[in-house]
Chains A and B, each alone.
Chain A
Amino acid sequence: MDEILTEKKVNRHPKRKKKQPITWSLIKNQRQLIWMSVPLTMYIVLFAYVPVWGWTMAFQNYRPAKAFGEQTWVGFKHFKFLFTDDNFLRVLRNTLAMGIINLILGFMTAIILALLLNEIKNVLWKRTVQTISYLPHFLSWIIVTGIVATSLSVGDGIINVVLMKLHLIDSPILWLSEGKYFWGIVGASHIWKEVGWSTIIYLAAIASIDPALYEAAEIDGANRYRRMFNVTLPGIKATIVILLIMSVGHVLDVGFEVPYLLGNGLIMDWSETIDIFVLKYGIAQGNYSLATAGGIFKTVVSVTLLLLANWTSKRLGEERLL
């Protein structure tokens, strides 16, 4: 954006398109633009950078009633507690597993649904399917987990009833008491809630593909599947890669509401995530320092994953975010 505006305003050096030294005259020229960007910059600084100051809590024995100067500094004590706890590896595993399952399943289902929707010729039917599939997005997780728990219940849960009617199982399964089902249940709940919503952006990307390409492919004798694979998919590849990179940064973020609300003692080994661990030993104990240490750890891992994904993508010659 900046660069385009720069070009239009200062047209004195038409040849030097990319590198333009910032001079006082340039600043003067663009003062309106600069003023306009001040509120936004302030917003970002205030809400994205200033709170980072709170990270200092992780290195203190933070007590809310005391002023900053009165806090005791403890170095890496809280990180040590976090990393040496027996449960830490387990919660890290659970967080990553659920995050990755959600990421992969979410991506595949959204792209597949988008491709299928794109093939529907009847507009009314297409709209109906799309609307129904994205409606659950507007429910909050507390409601969705309630629905999930009810449908999985032994007495009259729809899942057990259907499976029994189909004679796939002999007796109802207590889904939420078996750790091995838990990640799957979480993944499925995510898909049910988010798949429709995620397709919207792909459908938009598909809509921007030049129809001439389809026509050309059709003339060349490509059938529906060929067109899907050789026109539609390559056409939205850039979108897919960018979204993938962005989601990789959020892999660790998936693990609070659903595991917290659906988890119970029997499946704790599979359901507890970093966020729940931090809540239990940090916030709930009034130990904000530990909670902050957990938060820092998550941020560091997320940023690393994001950069890694971006770098990989660049290496493979694909689109990238940064």
Chain B
Amino acid sequence: MGGKSKSSMFKLSLVTLLSLSLTLAGCGGNNNNSAATKEEGNKPAETAAGNTTGSEEKIEPFEISIFLGEAGQQPTPDNKIYKKIKEETGASFNFEFLAGDLKQKLGVMIAGQDYPDLMTANTQLTAAGAFIPLEDLIEEHAPNLKAHYADYWNMMKDPNDGHIYTLPNYGAYNGKMSTTYYSGPAFWIQKAILKDAGYPQVKTLDEYFDLLVKYKEKNPTIDGTPTIGFEILNNDWRNWGLFNAPQHLIGHPNDGGVVVKDNVAELFADKDYAKQYYQKLNEMNGLGIIDQEAFVQNYDQYLAKLSSGAVLGMFDQHWNFQKAEDSLSTQNKIERTYVGLPLVYDTNTKDYYLDRPALNLNNGFGITVNAKNAVKIIKLMDRMIQEDWQKVLTWGIEGEDYIVENGRFMRTAEQRVNAVDATWKLSNKADAWWGTAPKMQGYFADGNSTDAAAQPEEYKAGLKPYDKEILDGYGINSYADFFSEPGPNPVAYPAWSIDLVEGSDAKIAETKMGELKTKFLPKAILASSSDFDKVWNDFVKEMGKVNVKAYEDRINEQLKWRFDTWSVK
């Protein structure tokens, strides 16, 4: 180096100069850009507002780009509902579906500030300032949306700054709710087992496992596949199969990672009533009831196992394994589809699985800062929430997708088959939009159900003979009747929708606990029964090291905030 110093200094300075100028140029460019986009973001919104209010009749085509936080399939280009929307409102949609891990995808989008017009709500996005406040937009341009959410207005406000950023897709009910279909958490069991055992009343965890053990002994294989007694899914964010059962077993509703007693939240994973559940699973593992591969499988493998019909039971939420059940129906294995049971530890406990639907906070659409047509979008949503469009979106087109008899909406047998045909739906339903958009739930003004499956006539007509047999065996009208009628929700319910705030101590504690649970609970279940206590004690010790207090404090603080804000309407 020494001898070359002069020339290399020269070279070095050249390089530095060049790089410096470039860096500066780059920085300058960036600043200009961001300033420019900010201005752009504001301007068209105003001009658009001016335009649309002036010429309401003229339909101007515009496209809305949408990111959906779920895997899905693109609708066909000639989809009749989207075509109708485009003809009557001018709006067309450009959907992007999630591929891979949601958090990662969002992380990348946030880092690049690269958002489409509309996105599925997520606290990560709200924290990053990706959404625009909607209150004023709604007040000004969307009287129907305002009416739709009137009762829920305060609940929708972000606890951190009081703005409304997202429009919950589910849980805004007008009047009564109908319950024939239960999509929440439960211990699920194959219908064939209940029939085989002569329709027993199954109330407790012990009774449930007794049934599984006996059935497995009698049927070591199902359609050639070895029988799996009890399946547990613990994969990525779908972790409730392993984590959530204990709170239900002591008669509490789904509050996520905590049990709320008298408005005070308490972590339950390391409590004795949780231990009782995992000890039972440990015992069952000793009997070979638990799937050996339960803890190494991913979601796809889980669905594949369920779809084979060889899995007798599991703890899960119905919507999470709906695909597997659809597949079983297609294979005509109705006896292998599942019934949800609200199990508890002992018969003195009243089950509380079925709850009155709570507003689905932190879900639904939010309009991003990049959206140029915010006003048009909110107006479109306002149009879509009106009854005529809601009917189109749920039931379809009268005469094509449903028929009306004496004012009641019904389906013909063929229409009923279509309604569950995934391929048909891609070209005849606007499900990609509808799933996340604000929607009416309950009943239309004319008394018809907003959900075809919940229309009593439809539910009865749609039942398979096998289901009728089971329901008659129990003397009930629908599978939801297994569950106790829920009382009114506690004001601040449910705790699982509380935003822990990204990167906060509470969130880090939650991540850590999730990690420990994922690591120790499977170990405890798979341990020999004599080692169970040792593993459990290690688990409790490790959990003790986590900042549980930060986690509980944040939840309690938010419960109190909800209690104060939500009860005063």
Contacts and interface: CB of A to CB of B under 8 A. Distances in A.
Nearest to A291: B107
Contact of B293 (A67, A153, A285): A153
Contact of B511 (A46, A63, A281): A281
Interface stretch (A104-112, A188-196, A238-246, A262-270): A262-270
B107 A266 contact: no
Given A65-B129, A284-B107, A19 B523 contact: no
Given A19-B4, A22-B10, A287 B518 contact: no
Contacts of A46: 22, 26
A291 to B, nearest CB: 8
B507 interface: yes
B104 A45 contact: no
Given A177-B296, A265-B518, A286-B128, A19 B19 contact: no
Interface in A260-286: 264-266, 268-269, 279-281, 283-286
Interface string A279-313: 11101111110100000000000000000000000
Contacts of A35: none
Interface residues of A, number: 38
Given A22-B7, A65-B128, A265 B522 contact: yes
Taking each of B113, B292, B526, which has the highest tally of chain A beta carbons within 10 Å of its own beta carbon?
B292
A63 B107 contact: no
Contact of A64 (B104, B111, B292, B523): B111
A266 B293 contact: no
A31 to B, nearest CB: 14
B45 interface: no
B107 A286 contact: yes
Contact of A268 (B22, B128, B292, B519): B519
Nearest to B235: A264
A127 B103 CA distance: 45
Contact of B26 (A50, A155, A279, A283): A50
Contacts of B464: none
A64 B503 contact: no
B502 interface: yes
Contacts of A264: 295-296, 518
B127 interface: yes
Interface residues of B, number: 43
A14 interface: no
A21 B127 CA distance: 57
Given A177-B295, A286-B128, A19 B23 contact: no
Contacts of B518: 264-265, 268
Contacts of B293: 153-155, 174
Interface in A146-189: 149, 153-155, 174, 176-177
Contact of B519 (A19, A21, A154, A266): A266
Contacts of B107: 283-284, 286, 288
Interface in B176-235: 226, 234
A284 B104 contact: yes
A65 B508 CA distance: 21
Nearest to A289: B503
Given A153-B293, A265-B522, A279-B104, A285 B502 contact: yes
B89 to A, nearest CB: 31
A265 B238 CA distance: 13
Nearest to B504: A285
B7 A266 contact: no
B6 interface: yes
Given A46-B26, A174-B292, A268-B518, A286 B18 contact: no
B296 A49 contact: no
A310 to B, nearest CB: 15
Given A266-B295, A280-B511, A286 B502 contact: yes
Contacts of B292: 154, 174
B56 to A, nearest CB: 34
A45 B18 contact: yes
Interface string B1-42: 001101100110001001100110010000000100000000
A264 to B, nearest CB: 5
Nearest to A45: B19
B190 to A, nearest CB: 20
A25 B385 CA distance: 76
Overall SS of chain B's interface: helix
Contacts of B523: 266
Interface in B115-136: 124, 127-130
Overall SS of chain A's interface: helix
Given A283-B107, A284-B103, A22 B128 contact: no
Interface in B77-109: 103-104, 107
B19 A21 contact: no
Contacts of A285: 502-503, 507-508, 511
Contacts of A153: 293
A286 B124 contact: yes
Given A177-B296, A266-B295, A286 B519 contact: no
Contacts of B161: none
Given A45-B19, A46-B26, A286 B522 contact: no
A42 B545 CA distance: 50
A78 B10 CA distance: 38
A41 interface: yes
B45 to A, nearest CB: 18
Taking each of B34, B293, B503, which has the highest tally of chain A beta carbons within 10 Å of its own beta carbon?
B503
Given A22-B7, A174-B292, A177-B295, A286 B127 contact: yes
A287 B522 contact: no
A174 B296 contact: yes
B272 interface: no
18 contacts: A19-B3, A21-B6, A22-B10, A22-B11, A41-B18, A45-B18, A45-B22, A65-B128, A154-B292, A155-B293, A265-B234, A266-B526, A269-B519, A284-B103, A285-B508, A285-B511, A286-B128, A288-B107
Interface of A: 19-22, 41-42, 45-46, 49-50, 53, 63-65, 67, 86, 149, 153-155, 174, 176-177, 264-266, 268-269, 279-281, 283-288, 290
Given A45-B23, A288-B111, 18 more contacts: A22-B11, A41-B18, A45-B18, A53-B23, A64-B129, A154-B292, A155-B226, A176-B296, A177-B295, A265-B518, A265-B522, A266-B296, A266-B519, A266-B523, A266-B526, A268-B518, A280-B515, A285-B503
